[in-house]
Structure 1
Amino acid sequence: MTSEAEPQPLLTARPTLSQEQVTHLEFIQAVITRLGNNSFLVKGWCLTLAAGLLAFAAEGSRISVAVTAFVPLVAFWLLDGYFLWQERLFRALYDRVRTPGGGGVEPFAMDPGPHTAGVRWWNAARSVTLALFYGGIGVAHLAVLGAVLLA
């Protein structure tokens, strides 16, 4: 009785990362996490300050407060855009380090500078999530400003 041997599946060797690379990736991930947390805190502060200023402006029909409330809104939007830009840069660095051999990145290097050509700050500041969040608060600012002007 002859039986043909079943073909063995081809085992492809996956390149493994060195312990040094894994530690480097953990460092980069810690920075990405911290930047995400900073972004969350900025949004919380912006929402709190905007609500307080708009309530104060609407209560006393103060046009100066309603107009001045736009300054922190823009400042927080720009700061949050900066955090998102930095996060994207570090994600690009992470992608390079996770490749076999470290993608030509010096061990434990934390400089995301070489990735600035592909990731622009202005594009991060105009991202859909930031535009919806800060744009929504901006619409509320305009509504209060209109109500104060009509009062």
Structure 2
Amino acid sequence: MDDKETVIKHLEMIQGIINRLAQNSFLIKGWSMTILGAVILFFSKSQPQYIILCLLIPVIGFWFLDSYYLWQERLFRGVYNDVRKQDKTDFSINISAQKSKPKYKWHSSFISITPVIFYMIEIIFIGTAFFILNCK
């Protein structure tokens, strides 16, 4: 196997990691929506409407977890960009070198446009459900 083929194999390995992280992020969003809908549906039939406000805790928890996976995905994309510029590879994956770069900070993943829009819609949905159930 020549040097270019090893670099390609290394890139394929990194891309597999990126795909798994993206899938985890997708699953977290799905679980967040499922739990939110199920709990609101369940508690809309009973009396304690304030329990709906407790849904803010798991939504924010899912937001943090989703942001973590997005951050990890960005770090591995940085590794991918570094490896693709190489002529030889030793198959090392060093994400710590990416953490010092400003565009790969965790907080930039937390306030990224996609998670902010997704989880703010959920938070607005919780507030609306709380308001509607308390007006009955």
Structure having greater relative contact order (Cα 8 Å, sep ≥ 6): 2
Matches for 1:10-49 after TM superposition, within 5 Å: 18-49=4-35
Greater gyration radius: 1
TM-score (norm 1): 0.81
- Rounded Cα–Cα distance in structure 2 between residues aligned with 1:94 and 1:81: 20
Aligned to 1:124: 109
Asked whether the 8 Å contact 1:61–1:148 carries over to 2, the reply is: no
TM-score (norm 2): 0.90
SS in 1 for 2:87: helix
Asked whether the 8 Å contact 2:7–2:86 carries over to 1, the reply is: no
The one-letter amino acid paired with 2:91 is: F
Asked whether the 8 Å contact 1:25–1:98 carries over to 2, the reply is: yes
| Deviations 1:74-124 (CA, angstroms, capped at 9, x unpaired) | 11110000000000000000000000335xxx6111221110122111110
| Counterpart pick for 2:91 among 108, 114, 126 | 108
Q: Percent identity, aligned pairs only?
A: 30
Runs of 4+ in 1 over 4 A off after TM superposition: none
| 1:82 pairs with 2:68 | yes
Aligned to 1:59: 45
Q: Which is worse superposed, 28-37 or 51-60? A: 51-60
Unaligned ranges ≥5, structure 2? none
Q: CA RMSD in A?
A: 1.7
More helix by share: 2
Aligned to 2:84: 98
Aligned residues: 133
